[in-house]
Chains A and B, each alone.
Chain A
Amino acid sequence: MSMLRSEGIRKDFSKFTALAGISLEVRKGEIRSIIGPNGAGKTTFFNVVTGKFKPTEGKIYFDGKDITGKPSYEIARYGIARTFQIVNIFLNLTVLENIMIPVLNKYKKNRDFFSAPGIQDDIMKDCLQVIKGVGLEKDAHSIAGNLSHGDKKKLDIGIGLARNPKMLLLDEPTGGLNPQDNRAILSLIKTIAEKEKLTIVLVEHDMHAVFSISDNITVFHQGRIIAEGKPEDVRQNRLVIEAYLGEEF
């Protein structure tokens, strides 16, 4: 069944068109990678799906619901989570506090005016589970800003996972990582996908990663989809090769 469906999404900024009609569909439980040269509109597409931008035209459906143009916090509550190309975490809060914000939201307890979760609470247990899941147990009380880049990326993913989303959008999760952290993140994504049966949409430049974990690949170029299909097919597609002229994969 369809988890995410976009119909003719167009996004114009005052001087240029970032998205010129994106229609795609991601099935439940699928791992879909979106690839394409820089400036192709991949992150803009994520921004439209998650409510940061309103599309100029077109519609977006998530799990059957029309979420076009809804604000980010509402879309998050429907079960879409995302991570960011440039690490976007709560730098001045501890790792535990970073994870707690989405977990509190899951339990609708952000507005508890006079209480905070105790050690025995479900909330705390969920937080610790997520922290373990991304491998940051020993840093649970460290200030997020002091973590290494790789650990910050893990935290970014952790925040996305913490609300038990139905779909996770990962924007260049391996960006700027050394090979060791790179492998760690990839195996993390694979594990999560299998265990939680999450639908995952991934924007990536690391082609090795893309071809090793994706069920399907969509190729963006200049705001349009120029190819879509199984990894083996996309790899041999002439249009895709031309778009990437000069890049290795």
Chain B
Amino acid sequence: MNQKNRSVLFLTIFVIILLCVFPIFLPSFALYLLNEMLIYGLFSYGFYFLFSHAGYLSFGQAAYFALGAYSVALMYKHVSLAIWLPFLTAIIGTAIVAVILGFLSVKLGRLYFAFLTMAFAQMIYAIVFRWRSFTGGDDGIPGVSRGFIDISFMRFNLESPQHFYYFTLVIFVVLLFVLRKLVESSFGLTLRSIRDNAERASFTGVNPQRYVLIAFVISAVYCAISGALHASLTKMAYPELSYWSTSAEPIIMTLIGGVYTFSGPFIGAVVYIFLKTYLMTIIGNWILFLGLILLIMVLFFRSGVMGFIEQKWGVKL
């Protein structure tokens, strides 16, 4: 491992240690913000895996964010407050929906995929919106619990901000580690070959649609877990979670951070949450502002913050 790569490793470990230590001295508002950053980071990683490695742009990952949110909200409300079952429902339920919708969406290629994912997300928005009796309609589900974890004889109530933060952090680090493994594996390489040249990949015996579908389900599960965490953090679940403007957020975050860098989505989430928190009250028309940011990124800054740094330093981040 050369000098530069070693520095990157140390930097990563340092950041993780920082993240573990923050709750001790950060005020509760800042801790909440950091928690949001981790959650939106996960959301962005879901998008990033599908976009940067499989080469498929989805405008509808919010659907799975919402499904995850509603799964835990409803499970906490009606079934159990212990976290295992609600999260498991979120993961499995979303995976099933993702297999079905993903299968339909990849059939016609990348271009159609983009707007089919948006169409399906709007469909889920409409279903959630109208099914008042089950989902609460446009009122959503208020007072979502954070659940508790039973480990042997101890019960951790996650209502406390510190407990919930560590819970999110552990999930974040584990899922990030898993994603890293996926990216570096033969599966990740095969995905990238499909992104690069799906035709040639199929001539080597690889069925592109099947691989993209698998990547899509993995992406959906990441989005669902982040949605579940989001519902617990904000204690709300509402239909707009499935709206196309929610889908825009991981896209923008990943672009800001850097689509071609592994750390990009998290860095992008950090920047975006900062911007949103401090600028949203000042800038009245947030959607216009977001649109302009996206436009500028697409035209001039395609590799994002980390991409820029990577070029300067010659490292892979």
Binding site for B on A (CB under 8 A): 50, 52, 71-73, 76-77, 81-82, 88-93, 97, 100-102, 104-106, 109-117, 159, 162-163
Contacts and interface: CB of A to CB of B under 8 A. Distances in A.
Query: Which of A77, A106, A110 is packed against the most chain B CB atoms within 10 Å?
Result: A110
A111 to B, nearest CB: 6
Contacts of A89: 197, 200
A102 B197 CA distance: 13
9 contacts: A73-B202, A77-B205, A89-B197, A93-B192, A101-B190, A104-B189, A111-B211, A113-B185, A114-B182
B178 to A, nearest CB: 8
Contacts of B182: 113-114
A115 to B, nearest CB: 6
Nearest to A123: B186
A111 B186 contact: yes
Nearest to B178: A114
Contact of B200 (A90, A100, A110): A90
Interface string B179-199: 001101111111011001101
A104 B189 CA distance: 10
Contact of A102 (B187, B196, B204, B211): B204
A88 B198 CA distance: 10
B80 interface: no
B28 interface: no
A50 B200 CA distance: 11
Contacts of A52: 199
Contacts of B204: 73, 76, 81, 101-102, 105, 159, 162-163
B201 interface: yes
Given A101-B190, A112-B187, A113-B187, A72 B202 contact: yes
A73 B204 CA distance: 7
Contacts of A106: 205
A110 B206 contact: yes
B12 interface: no
B193 A101 contact: yes
Contacts of A93: 189, 192-193, 196
A73 B199 contact: no
Question: Which 6 residue pairs of A and B lie closest in terms of their CB atoms, listed nearest first?
Answer: A102-B204, A105-B205, A76-B205, A112-B186, A110-B190, A72-B202
Instruction: Tell me whether chain B's interface is mostly helix, strand or loop, or mixed.
Output: helix
B7 interface: no
Contacts of A50: 203
A114 B181 CA distance: 5
Contacts of B199: 52, 72, 88
Contacts of B189: 93, 97, 100-101, 104, 116
Interface of B: 181-182, 184-190, 192-193, 196-197, 199-208, 211, 214
A76 B202 contact: yes
B215 to A, nearest CB: 11
A99 to B, nearest CB: 10
A112 B187 CA distance: 5
A197 B203 CA distance: 21
A213 B96 CA distance: 55
B234 to A, nearest CB: 32
A104 B197 contact: no
Contacts of A72: 199, 202-203
B203 A82 contact: yes
A109 B186 contact: yes
Nearest to B199: A88
Query: Which of B185, B205, B211 is packed against the most chain A CB atoms within 10 Å?
Result: B205
B185 A73 contact: no
Contact of B211 (A71, A110, A114): A110
Contacts of A81: 203-204
Nearest to B190: A110
A71 B207 contact: yes
Contacts of A116: 184-186, 188-189
Contacts of B193: 90, 93, 97, 101
